[in-house]
Structure 1
């Protein structure tokens, strides 16, 4: 058991993570889960003690990725099992950065499933761990707490947390793979998502702040982040409808449904639901009615490009 074995496992996880971002969890989950038994077996090999920290971190991150891909394909219970194992392994070697990231991902599962208070608690646990790691990781957890608070209608607290996120420096040196996605584009995206949520739960005037942030995110995401770009476009189309720009909202909504159909991500169907609901409130518009029906019939891709 050598450092080269650890580096190979890290590269394997990195490659699957890139597939996940580009095509959805359905393109990475099976390979991640299949690799886990042999990865876990490395922990007991002779010489493993010499690389104990990077090895435990690499195995934990593979569980972290398997959990995220499971979540993206609608397997929430499996996702939480992988995350629980990832937490144990990361904690066993004192990796605060990975611990914070796993709590973030567990919180996202809870938020997506409607357990908003539980999600907020997970994000807060993640922030505690992130405080000993980096400002960027603290900002990631703050942004997601803002999302949960916006969903609860806690406007003042959500906006206050969001204010901490903008302009957060990435720090010096390369970022761990599990947090490298949180670029300026992703920070703009979650800002837009939080403002969109507040526009729906508190005051439609938040649309004016959501739209420029979402436009910045869409412009910043390349084809390697196709899922994130699609989610931002969903929020942007929703904002257009909230602002009674129905023609623009319908046109963008039609485009984004097509984009979502290219992703192997069950989560896309769920993320389209608020757009469908806003379109349904404008049923007098024939395009809005057609968009509602198209989203109702929507099915994500079963497989992605090789």
Structure 2
């Protein structure tokens, strides 16, 4: 989505006195630089979104923006801030559940499975360089995959790719190759450029461990998929 339209949407929602929808738009503005490799800029938008979420008095909205902050911090390599933001997101989500809070703007795409997926992404990113987080990521990813609704195909593909990445980094080559091939199949079926881009960590890990025949084939398949037009 064009950032100019998103910027106008922020102004429109602010003028309308609708802080919850301001938070949603700021989230979308943050996802653009995050997906383009600039987590610092993404963090700025997520933090502004959190302020709007707090103004909306929705625990679910605050949890959603904090979860995104945690992901941005993880991509910046700041494990302390990432884990702190994630714990706060989980606390806010629990408060929303305790109050039976519902918010149509957030509840439709931020449920328990989405929170679990965000947590898995945080630990997966940190796990690329820290085995403690890698073990936590594998646990979270397996749980997230069990919880993801059948119609959330993109989320399933994303989590499969990260699970395969973490398993390969742990030296579990056969299991990593099997999950990786499932991720490749899912991404190919979805024909998503963004998902192909997100296979880069898996590609890197597979190429690093090509001495295993199954991983060697995975490296070939991921490279071919990512290079496809």
Instruction: Give the unaligned 5+ runs of structure 2.
Output: none
Instruction: Give the unaligned 5+ runs of structure 1.
Output: 1-66, 68-77
For 2:119 and 2:61, how far apart are their aligned partners in 1? 15
Alignment match of 1:251 (pick from 178, 183, 186): 178
Residue aligning to 2:62: 138
Displacement of 1:264 after TM fit? Answer: 4.0
Residue aligning to 2:31: 108
Q: Deviations over 1:78-129 (max 9, x none)?
A: 3x23322321221220111111011111111111111111011011000010
For 1:85 and 1:179, how far apart are their aligned partners in 2? 24
Change (3 A) 1:173 1:149: closer
User: After the TM superposition, which residues 156-235 of structure 1 pair with which residues of structure 2 at under 5 Å, given as runs?
Assistant: 156-166=80-90, 168=93, 169-170=96-97, 171-172=99-100, 174-201=102-129, 203-235=130-162
Q: Which runs of 4+ in 1 moved over 3 A?
A: 170-174, 299-302
Contact 2:196 2:225 (8 Å CA) reproduced: yes
Contact 2:209 2:215 (8 Å CA) reproduced: yes
Displacement of 1:166 after TM fit? Answer: 2.1
User: After the TM superposition, which residues 1-306 of structure 1 pair with which residues of structure 2 at under 5 Å, given as runs?
Assistant: 67=1, 78=2, 80-133=3-56, 134-166=58-90, 168=93, 169-170=96-97, 171-172=99-100, 174-201=102-129, 203-298=130-225
Asked which structure has the greater CA Rg, the reply is: 1
For 2:104 and 2:15, how far apart are their aligned partners in 1? 18
Contact 1:265 1:301 (8 Å CA) reproduced: no
Contact 1:199 1:205 (8 Å CA) reproduced: yes
For 1:165 and 1:261, how far apart are their aligned partners in 2? 32
Q: How many pairs were matched up?
A: 224
Displacement of 1:157 after TM fit? Answer: 1.2
Q: Deviations over 1:21-45 (max 9, x none)?
A: xxxxxxxxxxxxxxxxxxxxxxxxx
